[in-house]
Amino acid sequence: MFEVIPPRPAPAGVAGIGGWIRRNLFSSPANTLLTVVTGLFVGYVVIAVVAWALFDASWGQVWANQRLFAVYRYPADLLWRPMAVLAAMMALIGVMGGAGRSNEILRGLFWSLVGFVAVVTVIAILFWPSARVLWTGVLAASVVGYALGAARPALVRALPWAWAAWLFLGFFLLYGVTPGSGLLRIVPARDWGGFMLTLILFTGIVPSFPLGVALALGRRSKLPAIKYTCIAFIEIVRGAPLIMWLFVASLLLPLFLNTDPNNLPAILRAYVAITLFSAAYMAENVRGGLQSVPRGQTEAARALGLGGWLTTSLIVLPQALRAVIPAIVGQAIGLFKDTSLVFIVGLADFFRVTEIVANQPASLRVTGGVKLELYLFVALIYFFFAYRMSIASRQLEKQLGVGTR
Amino acid sequence: MPDTAPAAVRADAPTDGQPIIEIEGLNKWFGEFHVLRDISLSVNKGEVVVVIGPSGSGKSTLIRCINHLEEHQQGRIVVDGTELTDDVRNIDQVRRETGMVFQSFNLFPHLTVLENITLAPIRVRKWKKSKAEERARFFLDKVGIPEQALKFPGQLSGGQQQRVAIARALTMGPKVMLFDEPTSALDPEVIGEVLEVMVALAQEGMTMIVVTHEMGFAREVGDRVIFMDQGQIVEVGTPEHFFLAPREERTKAFLSKIL
């Protein structure tokens, strides 16, 4: 007679936390030794860093130079302008987060940015009387955007236009319109800097996306003129380091455009270099995606009577881009950190501000200097954003891996 | 006098019908390789022509030439009065009137079944979405899977996917259907459901050219069978002729291997 054997509990040492520790950390004498040594080392480092950060470090210079880190020499009385651009950005991200709140990734990205803004807002309310209203406004804009997106998900369709308008109007708001002291007076680009500049340069990834897609498609073109122009551009740009292109842009671009270098702010030149550099890499990522779409897809579309353009835009590109989204996010993370190279052409981005602050008389008076504190602060901020993107990228890979093909 | 090439076997349609496909003296090369040699073939409205032959005989290439997925270098191909030339307008015109079903289905994996089917009618025929969806559901019903409309292709079995592919081609309202080994990639137990759909289609009077190894299908619904080898038409005849009294040695050898 067949009888089902009832399940029995696992023997001690297999299940539970105790079992896991025994199996993974103390399974043999050698393993036990390794565990103890590694544990002592990690413990020592953590204690040393925390002790230093709490008792020995002097964070005064980081705190005193917060505005340099944030916006560099952007005039204090005009701070509402970058803050308005930031508020608009958070509102747009809010619409995205609200409309896509069933999507773990969009929701997660939105709330971690709002968390960041909220922390700064609390600090502002406590310590920065002049910025209280502005930061509260940014926080409010995020929440309003979220509510709008949640109530009217159809707004998402307007987002590409909204982002384009944001880039365009944002630039004019930051730069100003009238010289001298009138309404929206011009803030020369040499006064821009800090984390604001890092974010501005990072937005170069946005125009580099359509450019990269165009280059990738051009590289597959049947017309030799287009094909070889695209190949030449991609290979030449990828063949030299970004630092070199930053130099080329700052020295040669004014020459090519036949204009005085002073008419072309250094930021604009660096922005062009970063965008084109990123576009070349984007093109190669997208090309990988295009190659991953089977030929049968194109044939099926053509056999149904769809023309070349419709086949590319409706059948091939959606599948190709879906395949390379993780690679594109990886590229964005890389670009975010690579923007720090612009110090080489004299721009004071977030990273460069550490050097400037470190050489202030107040910093030099501190025994041992304050470089470590400054670098640690900057590293933490970079890490927060890069790691958050990295989490999103892994979630994306998981999400895209299921249910497709 | 120089030697002339041996005369090619012609596969002309019966003269009592109305020809919808006419192929005359078709030659095609892949690089140096002469893949189609002096093919002459015509097909009447409502005829079901089955093309058989060993792999590499050029039978898939032949039907891929008919909707210009492959370009030919010599000869004429006329489909429903439109000659295939380099003119893109002619090519698109022919593709609108011919539906094609592939061995590997080639459904669009990022679109639902319904979107797969309505995409071309909306974009190419410029139908309203409601009309396209109505027609799509009609044909999904016809191929026996109306309940799968909102799923993605990856969630369907191979047999279901191929039936969606047939519905997708039919919704465009083609005058001719081309089948390129439609059951070769399927598990044995689902081949039957796809063949059933094709038999029903043939009985409704659809003009069909079918490249297949399914001899049961050829025998049951084929009006004419064409045997190809090495890029040539070797023998043409009714299914009875083929399966009871083939004439050519090469045909006999091929049939003895697969029957």
Q: Hey, is the C-beta of B135 within 8 angstroms of any chain A C-beta?
A: no
Q: What is the pLDDT of residues B53-102, one digit of tens each?
A: 999 899 999 999 999 999 999 999 999 999 998 888 889 999 999 999 99
What's residue A402's pLDDT? 43
- Does A314 lie at the interface with B, CB-CB under 8 angstroms? yes
Q: Which of A299, A304, A319 sits opposite B110 (nearest CB)?
A: A319
What does the block give as tokens for B181?
């080994």
| pTM to 2 decimal places | 0.84
Query: Of the candidates A297, A303, A306, which has its C-beta nearest B100's C-beta?
Result: A303
| Angle formed by the axes of helices A266-292 and A205-219, nearest 10° | 50
Mean pLDDT over B182-203 rounds to 93
Question: How many inter-chain contacts (A to B, CB under 8 Å) are there?
Answer: 64
Say if the Cβ atoms of B95 and A305 lie within 8 Å.
yes
| DSSP label of A360 | S
Q: 3-class SS at B81? A: coil
Cβ-nearest to A305 among B92, B110, B152: B92
- Say whether the ipTM exceeds 0.85: yes
Question: Does A315 contact chain B (CB < 8 Å)?
Answer: yes
- Nearest Cα neighbor of A265 from A176, A328, A392, A205 is A176
The answer to whether residues B172 and B96 touch, using CB atoms and an 8 Å cutoff, is yes
Q: Which residue of B has its CA nearest to A301?
A: B120
- Chain B residue closest in CA terms to A315: B108
**What pLDDT is recorded for position A57?**
85
Domains annotated on chain A, with CATH: 16-53 (no CATH), 74-185 (no CATH), 188-405 (1.10.3720.10)
Residue A347 backbone phi and psi in degrees, to 5: -90, 145
User: What are A266-322's pLDDT values in tens digits?
Assistant: 888 899 999 999 999 999 999 999 999 999 999 999 999 998 899 999 999 999 998
Residue B236's H or E segment, with its range, is strand B232-237
Query: Among A297, A302, A303, whose Cβ lies nearest the Cβ of B108?
Result: A297
* B167 at interface of A, judged by CB pairs closer than 8 A: no
Report chain A residues whose CB lies below 8 A from the CB of B185: none
Using a CB–CB cutoff of 8 Å, tell me whether B119 touches chain A: yes
CB contact under 8 A, B119 and A405: no
Residue A197's CB is within 10 A of a number of other CB atoms, namely 26
User: Distance between CA A149 and CA A101 in Å, rounded?
Assistant: 9
Name chain A contacts of B119, Cβ cutoff 8 Å.
304, 306, 314
Of B32, B34, B36, nearest to B8 (Cα)? B36
In DSSP notation, A55-108 reads: II--THHHHHTHHHHHHBT--GGGTHHHHHHHHHHHHHHHHHHHHTTTSHHHHH
